[in-house]
Amino acid sequence: MLKVLRNIAIATAAVAVLAGGAQAAGMEKPVAARKAVMKLNSFYMSQLGGMAKGKMAYDAKVAQGAANGLLALARLDTSGMWLKGSGNDVLGNKTRAKPEIWSTYPEVANKSKALKAALESLVAVAGTGLEGLKGAIGAVGKSCGGCHKPFREKKK
Ligand code: HEC
C-alpha cells in the first residue's frame, strides 16, 4: 500500500513537471510575438528620438511614418500574446514581463490607453515640423516608461 502511494506521488510529481514544461513551451510564440511588437516600437521611437534630439535630420515623411507606425502597433489586438502564466514568475529569464501585469489587471490596460492617447497627439503633429514632433514625443516616451517601470523586470 505504502509503495503504491509512493508511486502515485512520484507519478503526480512527474506529471506536474511535464505540465509545467508544456505550459512554458506553449508560451514561446506569444512571448516572441510581444517582444517583436516592442522591438518595432523601439525602432520607430529611435527614429523620432533621433530627430527630436538633432542626431538625425528632420524628415516630415519619416516622422509621420514612424508616428503612424507606433499608433498602428498600439491599435493591434495583442491580447493573445499576453496569456496568463507567461510572466517571469513562471517562465523565468525567457521573459521580463512581471506577474503584476495579471495580478493588478486592468492597470496594464490603462497604461496601454495612456500610450495610445499620447500617440494620437503625436500623429497629429509629427509631420508638421520639428517643433511639433518635439512637443509631442516626450509624452510618448513617458508612456513607454510608465508601463515598463511597474511591469517590466529590470535587465539582469
Ligand atoms: C502596457 C505596457 C507597455 C507599454 C505601454 C510599452 N511596453 Fe515595452 N514592454 C512591456 C513589457 C511587459 C515588456 C517585457 C516583455 C517580455 O519580455 O515578454 C516590454 C519590453 C520592451 C522591449 C524589449 C523587447 C525585447 O526584445 O525583449 C522594448 C525595446 C520595449 N518594450 C520598448 C517599448 C517602447 C519604445 C514603448 C513605447 C512606444 C513601449 N515599449 C511601451 C510593456 C510595455
What would the pLDDT profile of 59-73 be if each residue is shown by its tens digit? 999 999 999 999 999
Q: Please tell me the predicted confidence (pLDDT) of residue 34.
A: 98
Reading the block at residue 63, the C-alpha cell is 516622422
Say if residues 103 and 44 touch (Cβ distance below 8 Å). no
Q: Which amino acid is at 119?
A: L
Which band of pLDDT confidence, cut at 50, 70 and 90, is reported for residue 10?
Answer: low
Could you give the CA distance from residue 85 to residue 156 in angstroms, rounded to a whole number? Answer: 21
Could you give the CA distance from residue 60 to residue 85 in angstroms, rounded to a whole number? Answer: 42
Q: What's the angle, vertex CA 147, arms to CA 68 and CA 87, rounded to 5?
A: 110
Q: Please tell me the predicted confidence (pLDDT) of residue 16.
A: 45
| pLDDT of residue 13 exceeding 80 | no
| pLDDT of residue 7 exceeding 70 | no
Q: Compute, in angstroms, the gap from residue 148 CA to the centroid of ligand 1.
A: 6
- 79-88 confidence digits (pLDDT tens): 999 999 999 9
Which position has the grid cell 503633429? Answer: 125
| pLDDT of residue 95 exceeding 70 | yes
With a 6 Å cutoff on the Cβ, whether 115 touches ligand 1 is: yes
Say if residues 114 and 100 touch (Cβ distance below 8 Å). no
With a 6 Å cutoff on the Cβ, whether 47 touches ligand 1 is: no
Which position has the grid cell 520607430? Answer: 44
Q: What's the angle, vertex CA 148, arms to CA 156 and CA 78, rounded to 5?
A: 110
Atom of ligand 1 nearest to the CA of 146: 5
